[in-house]
A and B are shown apart, each in its own frame.
Chain A
Amino acid sequence: MSRLQIPKTYKQFIGGKFPRSESGRTYRVTSAEGEFVANAAQSSRKDARDAVTAARSAFAAWSGATSYNRVQVLYRIAEVLEGRRTQFIDEIRTLEGGSAASAAAQVDRAIDLWVWYAGWADKYAQVLGSANPVAGPYFNLSVPEPTGVVAQIAPQGSDSLLGLVAVIAPAIVSGNTVVVIADERAPLPAISFAEVVATSDVPDGVVNILTGSATELGPWLASHADVDALDLTGAGSLDWVALEEAAAETITRVVRPTGDLHGSLQKIAVFTETKTIWHTTSLI
């Protein structure tokens, strides 16, 4: 007789904890073949609000950590991801369909992309920053600083793990904190990813993951005055222009949808603000 399994419960990830939606709602997550897999929390606007609060609370400590510390934490995430490789392959196959090989390829790309970004934490400032030779007796330095809280819509409908990693990593590597709306159809890898984050020395609130409808939640995050940047990478199939318009009210920085999941320095840079400091120099 085969052993009865214990199905997993999939809740949101907010402030380092795994709460159900305050609305009490769930929605059916089905496999690629249409079979019932799980009831995932259906995040509400209040969950989104709470997630932004958690992200804001976490920002000072995360952006204030040394870049060396952030490298360590991000690399630790990679170690734990690697340890859970089989679990992720399973989840992706179940929800997205496809072969074991293609699921494995996605997981491996996600982990490798994560490691690539981790290694930027203590370097991007050296490439993006500069000492500026101003025409006067001044020491002048430009440094890139994290912008703050970034609301993100992860790619929808495919690449449920890779897409998630592709948006989260470049944002948090410089010290931003994020609120991410996961792939609605395949949210389970996102929650498993949250479990990885929760066990990898990441301070509470640095990464927050909502599951549910990006159409419903997007406008609330876009218009939220305490969100500094809106990452619409995965919003290609939504009315993203309306989101961009909503974000305009508080001059929130907007990254438009792209199909591109490759790593780039530009994706880090777009979530930083350049601060330029002047200091007089004088011998006497």
Chain B
Amino acid sequence: MSFLEYAPAPESRAILNLEDSYGLFIGGELTDGHGEPLESISPADGSRIATFQTADADDVDRAVGAARRAYDTVWSKMPGAERAKYLFRIARIVQERARELAVAESLDNGKPIKETRDFDVPTAAAWFFYYAGWADKLEYAGLTNPRALGVAAQVIPWNFPLMMLAWKIAPALAAGNTVVLKPAQTTPLTALLFAEIVQQADLPAGVVNIIAGAGETGHALIAHGDVDKVAFTGSTAVGRSIARSVAGTKKKLTLELGGKGANIVFDDAPIDQAVEGVVTGIFFNQGQVCCAGSRLLIQESAHDEFVERLQRRMETLRVGDPLDKNTDVGAINSAAQLARIEELTAAGVDEGAVSWAPECDLPDEGFWFRPTLLTGVSTSHRVAREEIFGPVLSVMTFRTPAEAIAKANNTPYGLSAGIWSDKGSRVLSVADKLRAGVVWTNTFNKFDPTSPFGGYRESGYGREGGRPGLTSYLADEKGSAK
């Protein structure tokens, strides 16, 4: 028997108490939705999870109305210290129900339980803890007369469903806004569990509203006339249409879009940790991460040895059942996403890149893609330019620091970058010159509620986390009464 074929270590689903059907959470209650219902499935094996009612235009209107009433009559009148207490309560309950939320998220999204348990859920709780403390300290945010914006419309993606929900709702509420949030079409489950948490925290009705739906629901929500703020995380393509839609309106907009992050490895990098960082950068969450380090820029002199070490390391990645505690790489979120990954990877090979993946058995059911390395990629290849949003790493070389920077910046995106070198002055200078909103040095994929996150150029505008994450939900109104 091979020790490395670890015996199954399944996380039990018994902790879940799933409904057969979930409604819309509007005005503090679950109500019927009149759009076309969604069937959410587990991407790991295609099995059905539950039915989610969706919001049609009238439902969206109801939800915004509930948020507006709650803002006007309750939330805008409430002292910040009390808003803080509600947010602390929510943070605590997320911690208390952490295991249940982690299992639900892995089931719905396809990502490994190890990640939901150790990263997604704790980070979501931390986001609420951090912003809770801002609710009664708005005067320290750097604005002269901070005021909430009103009603926020929030549309979030499927790659980190609960965590993205926390990134949106926590600062919005801390700043005094009420919200209507639409989870992604393929991952509504933890958002509806969060609705239960909101009820357990006794949050006043209508402060948080959650409506499931597909693209049309999102569009109706964002286009609604009584919305003061729009926050969107998702693809650049949809981000463009949202930006067009809010043009000229009163709505403030923040966008967190796609990326093609460059992970730059110099010849003096701490090599074993750099290998880990590159692996984490592209295979964490199956590469379905806006800030993934999807381009490896390795100093040419170090290329061959580094690629070999990378391959050896990739051979120990375990691809399989997301609910097995030893799984490193889970399922791709949907058939559509899998098709896109396959198409782009094939395009890369056609363009001349060499594809390599470790041998591993993939399950018969569900959506799966092996962690893949594309070497011999050049800057003009599609796989060097387009976001694949999957576990595929495009490998390119550079000769000098200046060339690394030029190649890293040579993209319409500008979300993230990584720098690996033992030389402090170089690391700081390169960081200074990279046009990216998040620069990780000698690490990657680190997130903290205190640390602002967001992109340059087509990766979007606005930041989440830290003080900027708060001020994007505030107006600075001169002469307004406090």
Contact = CB atoms under 8 A, between A and B. Distances in A.
Contacts of A127: 140, 467
B140 A265 contact: yes
B133 A283 contact: no
Contacts of B449: 122
A118 to B, nearest CB: 7
A281 B133 contact: no
Contacts of A283: 401-402, 405, 426, 429-430, 433
B466 interface: yes
A71 B129 contact: yes
Interface residues of B, number: 30
Interface in A103-139: 112, 115-116, 118-123, 126-127, 137, 139
B129 to A, nearest CB: 6
Contacts of B466: 126
A207 to B, nearest CB: 20
Interface residues of A, number: 25
A227 to B, nearest CB: 29
B429 A122 contact: no
24 contacts: A68-B126, A68-B129, A68-B448, A71-B129, A116-B81, A116-B137, A118-B133, A119-B134, A121-B133, A122-B133, A122-B450, A123-B137, A126-B467, A127-B140, A139-B428, A265-B140, A279-B424, A279-B425, A280-B424, A281-B429, A282-B425, A282-B426, A282-B429, A283-B426
Given A126-B467, A137-B429, 7 more contacts: A71-B130, A119-B134, A123-B134, A123-B450, A126-B450, A283-B402, A283-B430
Contacts of A118: 133
A123 B134 CA distance: 8
Contacts of A112: 81
A120 B140 CA distance: 11
A255 B232 CA distance: 47
Nearest to A67: B450
A129 to B, nearest CB: 11
B69 interface: no
Interface string B418-449: 00000011101110110000000000000011
Nearest to B135: A119
A75 interface: yes
A75 B126 CA distance: 13
Contact of B133 (A123, A139, A265, A279): A123
B88 interface: yes
Contacts of B424: 279-280
A108 to B, nearest CB: 11
B81 A280 contact: no
Interface of A: 67-68, 71-72, 75, 112, 115-116, 118-123, 126-127, 137, 139, 265, 279-284
Nearest to B126: A68
Interface in B51-93: 81, 84-85, 88
Contact of B132 (A119, A126, A281): A119
Interface of B is mostly: helix
A127 B138 CA distance: 12
Given A75-B88, A115-B84, A127-B140, A281 B425 contact: yes
Nearest to A128: B140
A95 to B, nearest CB: 27
Contact of B81 (A115, A120, A122): A115
A223 to B, nearest CB: 36
B136 interface: yes
Contacts of B467: 126-127
A155 to B, nearest CB: 22
A116 B84 CA distance: 9
Contacts of B126: 68
A137 to B, nearest CB: 8
A280 B429 CA distance: 8
A68 B405 CA distance: 34
Contacts of A115: 81, 84-85, 88
Contacts of A116: 81, 84, 136-137
Contacts of A72: 129
Contacts of A122: 129-130, 133, 449-450
B404 to A, nearest CB: 10
Most buried by A among B126, B133, B449: B133
Given A281-B425, A282-B425, A282-B426, A119 B133 contact: yes
A155 B433 CA distance: 53
A118 B87 CA distance: 13
Nearest to B132: A119
B432 A284 contact: no
Contacts of B428: 139, 279-281
Nearest to B424: A279
A281 B427 CA distance: 8
A112 B88 CA distance: 13
Interface string B384-423: 0000000000000000011001000000000000000000
A131 to B, nearest CB: 11
A118 B79 CA distance: 17
A123 B468 CA distance: 12
A119 B136 contact: yes
Most buried by B among A67, A115, A137: A115
Contact of B401 (A67, A120, A139, A284): A284
A125 to B, nearest CB: 8
A67 B429 CA distance: 28
A280 B424 CA distance: 8
Interface string B83-107: 0110010000000000000000000
Most buried by A among B84, B428, B467: B428
A129 B449 CA distance: 17
A283 B401 CA distance: 6
Contacts of B425: 279-282
Closest 5 CB pairs of A and B: A119-B133, A281-B429, A280-B425, A281-B428, A282-B425
Interface in B119-148: 126, 129-130, 132-137, 140
B402 A71 contact: no
Nearest to A118: B133
B176 to A, nearest CB: 15
Contacts of B130: 68, 71, 122-123
Contacts of A75: 88, 129
Nearest to A138: B428
A137 B429 CA distance: 8
A118 B130 CA distance: 10
